[in-house]
Copies of this chain bind each other. A is one copy, B any other.
């Protein structure tokens, strides 16, 4: 009964994730989203709403991507998985323009919009809760003392490492931190054995 859309909604969202991830919220303009998706401003606005609406959808997509990774790495939930995580952080991206060199969209977002939008803050907190839970379950499974605080510590460690990635513009910047992080977790496992 009506004219069908010329584009795929999910595909367009994926493209927009890349743009926001690379440039951040403010630096991402309507025109950039047009170019990346091939859709006109009007089509974007009609489909997704205003800029903040789009961004929340983007954060949602990003969260689900991370959820997939977590479910894969933390199955079963062990501290060893957390160690793998940190080692993986420091892996070289062969392409200097690789999106992983931009750090983590959520970490970056905290600093740009952390206090600005309630909805964004909630999305970031949900993302953090997901990681905290993964670390917590791993700590429990390995019988470590004070699992809540250890989980919070690892979460902060992860964010610190990612902030270095963002600053240096290369995943290798996380290497020195990853090394000691793995070593620290190793002592936890030893102490609880």
- How many residues on A have C-beta within 8 angstroms of the other chain's C-beta atoms? 38
Q: Which of B125, B160, B163, B177 contacts A111 (CB 8 A)?
A: B163
Q: Which of B108, B124, B164, B176 contacts A148 (CB 8 A)?
A: B176
Task: Say whether A167 faces chain B, with CB atoms less than 8 Å apart.
Answer: yes
Q: Which among A5-13, A33-41, A63-71, A150-158 touches the partner chain? A: A150-158
Task: Say whether A42 faces chain B, with CB atoms less than 8 Å apart.
Answer: no
Contact A163 B167 (CB under 8 A): no
A167 CB → nearest B CB, Å: 5
Contact B114 A167 (CB under 8 A): yes
Secondary structure dominating the interface of A = helix
Chain B residues near A187 (CB-CB < 8 A): 187
Task: Say whether A133 faces chain B, with CB atoms less than 8 Å apart.
Answer: no
Contact A111 B157 (CB under 8 A): no
Contact B111 A180 (CB under 8 A): no
- A residues touching B (Cβ–Cβ < 8 Å)? 24, 26, 107-108, 110-112, 114-115, 121, 124-125, 128, 146, 148-150, 152-153, 155-161, 163-164, 166-167, 169, 176-177, 179-181, 184, 187
Could you write out 21 A-B pairs with CB less than 8 Å apart? Answer: A24-B111, A26-B26, A107-B111, A110-B166, A110-B167, A111-B111, A111-B163, A112-B112, A124-B167, A146-B180, A149-B180, A150-B180, A152-B177, A152-B180, A153-B177, A156-B160, A156-B163, A156-B164, A157-B160, A184-B184, A187-B187
